[in-house]
Amino acid sequence: MKAKKVLEVAAIENGTVLDHLPSEKVLKIVEILALHQESRITLGMNLESKKQGKKGIIKIEGRDLTEEEMNKIAILAPEVTVNQIKNYGVIKKKKIVLREIEPNTLRCNNPNCITNAESVATKFHILDKKPLKMRCYFCERSIEKEEMIFL
């Protein structure tokens, strides 16, 4: 069981593997990071996981993720494990923790909000992490996880 897991994670030479993703978030993460446009990626969905039952994996060849990208992933999939791969081995394994919503990551879904009318960067306070709930700094509309639109 352990050997199989190592193989699944380390099958790229260099790059990043996102492990323990909810399967239904895999395509969404590819989309918001636009990974399909520039990186060689391998996706796995509904893979066996002892912890979660089923899980998703994204392998990104040839590059690391930026802080900004990691932050977006943390919004969608707070349980993710980020594996940094070098020469087919995991050199670093980390959990990412959502601390704040970076400006201009999400859209405010209040049509009357100043961020939708003028070129003002959106800003949200986190009210709750599980499940994720946040409030717009400008109009005070609260947004739940299901309503999020990434910019």
Distance of closest approach, residue 112 Cβ to Zn ion, in angstroms? 8
* Spatial contact of 104 and 75, defined as CB atoms under 8 Å apart: no
Angle at CA 18, nearest 5°, toward 33 and 61?
70
Encoded one letter per residue, x for contact with Zn ion by CB under 5 A and - for no contact, window 112-141 reads: -x----------------------x-xx--
Please, which residue, 63 or 107, has the CB nearer to Zn ion?
Answer: 107
**Residues counted in the chain:** 151
| Of 48, 45, 42, nearest in space to 13 by CA | 42
Strands, E assignment, 27-109: 40-49, 53-61, 81-86, 89-95
By CB under 5 A, is residue 110 in contact with Zn ion?
yes
Distance of closest approach, residue 56 Cβ to Zn ion, in angstroms? 31
Distance of closest approach, residue 139 Cβ to Zn ion, in angstroms? 3
Burial class (CB in 10 A: 0-12, 13-18, 19+), 140: exposed
Task: Give the CA distances from residue 3 to residues 6, 8, 31, in Å, rounded to whole numbers and listed in that order.
Answer: 5, 9, 31
Please, which residue, 91 or 149, has the CB nearer to Zn ion?
Answer: 149
By CB under 5 A, is residue 142 in contact with Zn ion?
no
Among 108, 132, 143, 148, the residue binding Zn ion under the rule CB under 5 A is 108
- With CB under 5 A as the contact rule, which of the stretches 27-35, 66-74, 105-113, 123-131 interacts with Zn ion? 105-113
* DSSP type of residue 138: T
Distance of closest approach, residue 121 Cβ to Zn ion, in angstroms? 11
Return residues touching Zn ion (CB under 5 A). Answer: 108, 110, 113, 136, 138-139
